[in-house]
Amino acid sequence: DIQMTQSPSSLSASVGDRVTITCRASQSIDNYLNWYQQKPGKAPKLLIYAASNLQSGVPSRFSGSGSGADFTLTIGSLQPEDFATYYCQQSYSTPHTFGQGTNLEIK
């Protein structure tokens, strides 16, 4: 299975900050990379698909980039509702493995 590694595992930031989360695959996955946001007690929500495509209804402060094995999720200006856990996922091969998650906390 393809291994996905996110960094950092946790991150403290303030409202208005710009933050970047990285995700690295154990092999090239072209652009088959997705990002999710999960809040406590809720199901994950798709934010970005195919590395850089914004899912319908997701604010434009979220953006994704990368291809091959290295990817980033950027939140342009943190809002209070953005504090959550973020996961990357590869959909290049089955099973569609996830990164271990990045917990974004309020500083």
Partner 1 sequence: EVHLVESGGGLVQPGGSLRLSCAASGFTFSSYVMSWVRQAPGKGLECVSVISASGGHTYYADSVKGRFTISRDNSKSTLYLQMNSLRVEDTAIYYCTKIKQKLVLHDGSDIWGQGTMVTVSS
The site for partner 1 (CB under 8 A) is made up of 1, 32, 34, 36, 38, 43-46, 49-50, 55, 87, 89, 91-92, 94-101
C-alpha to C-alpha distance for 4 and 12, rounded to whole angstroms: 22
CB of 46 to partner 1, least distance (A): 5
Q: What are phi and psi of 25, to 5 degrees?
A: -95, 155
50 or 106, CB closer to partner 1? Answer: 50
CB of 30 to partner 1, least distance (A): 9
6 or 78, CB closer to partner 1? Answer: 6
Cβ count within 10 A of residue 2 = 18
CB of 58 to partner 1, least distance (A): 11
E-state strands within 1-107: 4-7, 10-13, 19-25, 33-38, 45-49, 53-54, 62-67, 70-75, 85-90, 102-106
34 or 104, CB closer to partner 1? Answer: 34
Q: Which of 72, 75, 95, 71 is nearest to 84 (CA)?
A: 75
CB of 98 to partner 1, least distance (A): 4
60 or 94, CB closer to partner 1? Answer: 94
- The β-bridge partners of 105 are 12
